[in-house]
């Protein structure tokens, strides 16, 4: 299929490579020309704008860092909606706020295009391995139509309901993830301060009602699990600043929806302090450093 792809950063680049591997042809654009040059080659043409990338495409995919970028890439003077033919499916894989996702989808619909919001989880590793999870908002039949293309990039496709719900699922999951990580940090730090062995405590919690993904799969206490960032000085993984960005999105969405999220707002603050303390580039499980010296 001829695909227009906009946004070629850490995530977009490997996603494009997987699309090419599956035999699709691409027209790609990024505001950073260097990123375009890195990809252009056999089956992959460079475009000079989002509009040009979209022109003649049978599907357009975008992967951008924030809501204003998405708005500009679709609605700007040289944006996607200026170039697409009516009826072209549009898939935005960025993690942005649900209201912007719904706004842009509405504008797309006005041009006769079906749009899906399809934020991913799985990180750069998942993007390279083609094993991303896509949380997709939009019409069910549009979701089904896009499935074969998404499967070139990911393994797990979840339809979350109408437009915007992919974003809602993503940010609300990450709200719970961030709180769960800090809860695990508080529990592990307190239990060991009170005299327990960290592995023994983790083993108990992980078969009890206190368990969560952060305790049993991604434990922040060094040495409890192998092959997690906590056991390599918090290198790699999902950066604390990325978690902070998602917490900012979700607390902003909660403000718009007039919905209290007390623990969420405090979690956002704790990550904000963690970042201000200079730990933003470390894996997000490093938040335990707010509670104990290594």
Q: What H or E segment, with its residue span, contains residue 190?
A: helix 165-193
Paired sense of beta strands 120-121 and 132-136, if any? antiparallel
Residue appearing with tokens 């604390």: 240
Distance CA 272, CA 80 (A): 34
Paired sense of beta strands 154-159 and 120-121, if any? unpaired
Q: How many residues touch a second copy (CB under 8 A)?
A: 75
Q: Does 162 interact with a second copy (rule: CB under 8 A)?
A: yes
Secondary structure class of 10 (helix, strand, coil): coil
Rounded least distance, CB 139 to a second copy, Å: 14
Stretch that binds a second copy, among 26-34, 56-64, 222-230, 244-252 (CB under 8 A): 244-252
Q: Does 212 interact with a second copy (rule: CB under 8 A)?
A: yes
CB 93 within 8 A of CB 60: no
Closest CB to a second copy among residues 145, 291: 291
Could you say which of 62, 88, 95, 184 contacts a second copy (CB under 8 A)? 184
Q: Does 195 interact with a second copy (rule: CB under 8 A)?
A: yes
Catalytic residue among 2, 21, 155, 170: 170
Closest CB to a second copy among residues 50, 136: 136
170 is catalytic: yes
Residues 87-116 that bind a second copy (CB under 8 A): 98
Q: Does 165 interact with a second copy (rule: CB under 8 A)?
A: yes
Rounded least distance, CB 178 to a second copy, Å: 9
Could you say which of 68, 197, 233, 235 contacts a second copy (CB under 8 A)? 197
Which positions from 253 to 282 touch a second copy by CB under 8 A, shown as an x/- string?
xxx-xxxxxxxxxxxxxx-xx-xx------
Rounded least distance, CB 51 to a second copy, Å: 22
DSSP state of 283: B
Closest residue by Cα to residue 97 from 151, 165, 16, 32? 165
Could you say which of 3, 20, 80, 168 contacts a second copy (CB under 8 A)? 168
Which positions from 40 to 69 touch a second copy by CB under 8 A, shown as an x/- string?
------------------------------
Question: Which token pair is 35?
Answer: 């990123």
Q: Does 250 interact with a second copy (rule: CB under 8 A)?
A: yes
Could you say which of 150, 157, 169, 288 contacts a second copy (CB under 8 A)? 169
Contact residues for 125 (Cβ-Cβ < 8 A; gap 6+): none
Q: Alpha carbon of 12 to those of 7, 45, 62, 257: distances in Å?
A: 6, 15, 8, 31
Q: Does 177 interact with a second copy (rule: CB under 8 A)?
A: yes
CB 284 within 8 A of CB 132: no
Could you say which of 180, 198, 222, 236 contacts a second copy (CB under 8 A)? 180
Stretch that binds a second copy, among 30-38, 85-93, 146-154, 247-255 (CB under 8 A): 247-255
Cα angle value 153/137/172 (rounded, 5°): 95
Could you say which of 215, 219, 285, 286 contacts a second copy (CB under 8 A)? 215
Q: Does 85 interact with a second copy (rule: CB under 8 A)?
A: no
Distance CA 136, CA 120 (A): 9
Cα–chain-centroid distance for residue 66?
11
Secondary structure class of 25 (helix, strand, coil): strand
Distance CA 292, CA 91 (A): 43
* Residues that are catalytic: 170
């Amino acid at each position: 299929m001829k695909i227009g792809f906009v946004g070629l950063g850490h995530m977009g680049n490997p996603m494009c490579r997987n699309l090419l591997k599956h035999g699709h042809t691409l027209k790609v654009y990024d505001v950073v020309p260097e990123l375009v040059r890195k990809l252009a080659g056999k089956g992959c043409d460079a475009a000079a704008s989002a509009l040009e990338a979209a022109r003649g495409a049978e599907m357009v995919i975008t992967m951008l860092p924030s809501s204003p970028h998405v708005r500009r890439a679709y609605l700007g003077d040289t944006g996607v909606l200026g170039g697409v033919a009516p009826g072209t499916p549009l898939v935005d894989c960025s993690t942005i706020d649900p209201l912007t996702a719904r706004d842009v989808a509405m504008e797309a619909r006005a041009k006769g295009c079906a749009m899906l919001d399809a934020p991913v989880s799985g990180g750069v590793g998942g993007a390279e391995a083609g094993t991303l999870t896509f949380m997709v908002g939009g019409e069910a039949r549009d979701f089904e139509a896009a499935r074969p293309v998404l499967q070139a990039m990911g393994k797990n496709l979840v339809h979350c309901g109408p437009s915007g719900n992919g974003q809602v699922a993503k940010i609300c999951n990450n709200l719970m993830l961030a709180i769960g990580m800090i809860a695990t940090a508080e529990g592990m730090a307190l239990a060991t301060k009170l005299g327990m062995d960290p592995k023994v405590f983790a083993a108990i919690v992980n078969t009890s009602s206190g368990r969560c993904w952060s305790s049993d799969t991604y434990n922040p206490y060094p040495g409890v699990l192998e092959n997690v960032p906590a056991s390599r000085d918090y290198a790699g993984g999902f950066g604390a600043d990325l978690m902070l960005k998602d917490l900012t999105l979700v607390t902003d969405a909660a403000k718009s929806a007039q919905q209290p999220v007390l623990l969420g707002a405090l979690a956002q603050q704790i990550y904000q302090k963690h970042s201000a303390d200079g730990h933003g580039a470390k894996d997000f499980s490093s938040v335990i450093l707010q509670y104990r010296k290594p």
